[in-house]
A and B are shown apart, each in its own frame.
Chain A
Amino acid sequence: MSNVSRVAEPAFVARRRADWDDLERLARELRERGPKGLAGAELARLGPLHRDVCGDLAHAQSARYSAPLVDRLRLLTADGHAALYGLRPRGRGLRGALLGSGSGGLVHAFPRAVRRHAGAMALAAALFFVPLVVGALVVLRDPTFAFRIVPESMLKPLAEHYAQGFSGGRSADEGALMAGFYVNNNVGIALRCFALGIFGGLGSAFYLVFNGLAIGAIFGYVASVGAGDNIATFVVGHGSLELGAIVLSGGAGLALGWSIVAPGARTRLASLQAVGRDVVAIVGGASVMLVMAAAIEGFWSGSSIGALTKRVVGGGLFLLVLAYLALVGREGRGAGGDSK
């Protein structure tokens, strides 16, 4: 077989080396400092340099230059590819992804994704609230049934605690401790509830039903010892955020699972990836909701503020959450809102 190139390897290297070193440096700087760390002229060079190096790789392969040279060009092509095609319009930072520019960030993507998957959300709400209500009613009739769902050793102190009411309030340090606990516990549950949806939605369904049942049992038991008003006052402040977020992330998990069960025109893997990408904003939004809920639960719900105030504020918050999910991120009428 003959040589397709009349250029010998050392001459080729000598001629092209400066460009290779430039691309290597540019790709590294872009990786470390992001697009804003580079001058405009440098960024503009990236494309032409990368295409030249792609050509060099093809040339080196067909001219059968030595393996280390082909290897180096291969790695350089990979670097250039990642640098050039990895550029994102709003940058790669966390702030860009959360807030975005215009309506591209999580603030808008979250309620949109929820509305796109309204069916899964409704199913999740049913899976959560039906056991909750049923559990509460059954336990109201027969309080000992609650011990089958939630350990007695946990329920009794809980009931006593609510029976006392909130006149004593909660000190700031106690609030911080509980807020930390709620973040770790509740957000963890919500994230797991989503992740286990990958098993055809079964994991999410299990978490939703089980948590609904447990919360219903606690409600029913506390009510059965006569502290029903107190626990309602406690929950109303953060409930819309906390329970809502669990339902939303469970719904996202159900959508993920359903994408494998009924992939439609896609392969199962492609369907899983598309839906995963679509619902991840819901999980992000739900996590933010839960962190807010934890702060409210820790510092507000257990405080000695009057019951009426708590209920009014809680009700207002509930409406606010509903309005946010229903309205934010809708396309403006002719105002040039982003498509999707």
Chain B
Amino acid sequence: MEPIAPRVEMAGAPRTAAPIAAPIATAEPRRDAASRAPADADALLDAPIDTPIDAPIDAPIDAPIDTILAIETPEHVVFEHRLAGPARRLLAYVVDLFVCYGALAVLAGLVLLAAFAVGTQLGGGEAFAKLGVGLLLVALFAVQWVYFVIFETLRGRTPGKLVAGLRVVTITGRPIGLAEAALRNLLRAADALPTGYLLGFVAMALSPRFQRLGDLVAGTVVIVVERPEVPRPLLLWPPPAPWELDALPARVALDAEERAALELFFRRRGTLGEGRERELAEMIVGPIAARYGYRLPDSVRTLALLYDRALHTGRADALPAAPPAPPASPASPARGAAT
């Protein structure tokens, strides 16, 4: 029986879009959020069930400075949200300002037109204008204090945040309600001091979760809404030739960093030049190939075969009979060989 690997290791796998330049595993193991979770079960039971596990108390000093909020669900799995930084939030805010004051300007124009029309047709335009100004003042109030609360309560995002791809959630990853939306937006008055949201910006810089004062009080964070990609397994292409399989060891074991690095490398292959591709492969192929005494003239192909074997060793389950879709990448299940 093979030992069960701790599930947390994969949590540190690079995201497909992460701009890691070289696919070499770093010497220092990447710490991931889950490894900081309280180890003993009693502690877990005592803790509020969805306390974010990156609470500062548990964080080791050399934890990576990261913009990721890890949340452990009551089901005890960990998922992550990407936190939104000041630049993106400023963009959202500027869009909101345009929406609000644009609407206000349109309303003002309508009031003016209506007052003018009433004044020339019926007389009493002045009285009408006063009514209109009263209305405008209420609208001005709504723009300053109500707009954000309503949109964030009902949708979790204002139109500006929609444009910028942001959403407000609680620090436990749940949608916010009226109380949270009201608190975080009331506290805007404090964040905006002394001018231009300077205080809010400072609070965000000091907070590990990019929270301004309003977010701190309401217990909310602003996250980047991510679109899931369609998962596409890597395929070994062309299929392995018999002579390639001759010397390939039956079992290849790669550790989490090696696998993550190789996966990233193969997924990014299409964007690399041929020279750069070979250069990167040369950097990592040496130690791995030496470990298994397996080396083809083409180092990229060597890595592809080893990666494929590592991925599918011992996996011989019932697979769809039809061969998978056309090649996009070089590693493929090579199922015949794996059995």
Contact = CB atoms under 8 A, between A and B. Distances in A.
Contact of B137 (A7, A77, A82, A180): A180
Contacts of A171: 127
Contacts of A54: 73, 75, 77
Contacts of A174: 130
B228 interface: yes
Contacts of B130: 173-174, 176-177
A71 B233 contact: no
Contact of B154 (A78, A94, A98): A94
A245 interface: no
A192 B191 CA distance: 11
Interface string A16-42: 000000000000000100000000000
Nearest to A86: B175
A95 B23 CA distance: 54
Contacts of B284: none
- Give the size range of A's interface with the partner: 35 or more
Contacts of A2: 2-3, 5, 251, 253, 313-314
Contacts of A92: 153-154, 175, 177
Contacts of B217: 198, 256, 272-273, 276
A1 B255 contact: yes
Given A8-B312, A198-B190, A68 B230 contact: yes
B16 A67 contact: yes
Contacts of A181: 134, 137
Nearest to A269: B216
Contacts of B150: 94
Contact of B10 (A50, A55, A64, A269): A64
B87 interface: no
A72 B259 CA distance: 19
A65 to B, nearest CB: 8
Contact of A1 (B153, B183, B226, B254): B254
B178 A81 contact: no
A14 B320 CA distance: 9
A1 to B, nearest CB: 5
B253 A74 contact: no
A122 B50 CA distance: 37
Interface stretch (B39-47, B139-147, B272-280, B289-297): B139-147
A277 B183 contact: yes
A114 interface: no
B182 interface: yes
B315 A7 contact: yes
A6 B313 CA distance: 8
Contacts of A70: 10, 13
Given A51-B75, A66-B263, A192-B189, 16 more contacts: A1-B254, A2-B313, A6-B317, A67-B14, A68-B230, A68-B267, A77-B79, A78-B71, A78-B81, A82-B174, A94-B150, A97-B177, A195-B186, A198-B187, A272-B216, A298-B134
Interface of A: 1-11, 13-14, 31, 50-51, 54-55, 57-58, 60-62, 64, 66-72, 74-78, 81-82, 85-86, 88, 92-94, 97-98, 171-174, 176-181, 183-184, 187-188, 191-192, 194-196, 198-199, 203, 256, 269, 272-273, 276-277, 280-281, 283-284, 298
7 contacts: A61-B11, A67-B14, A94-B153, A172-B131, A180-B138, A198-B213, A272-B216
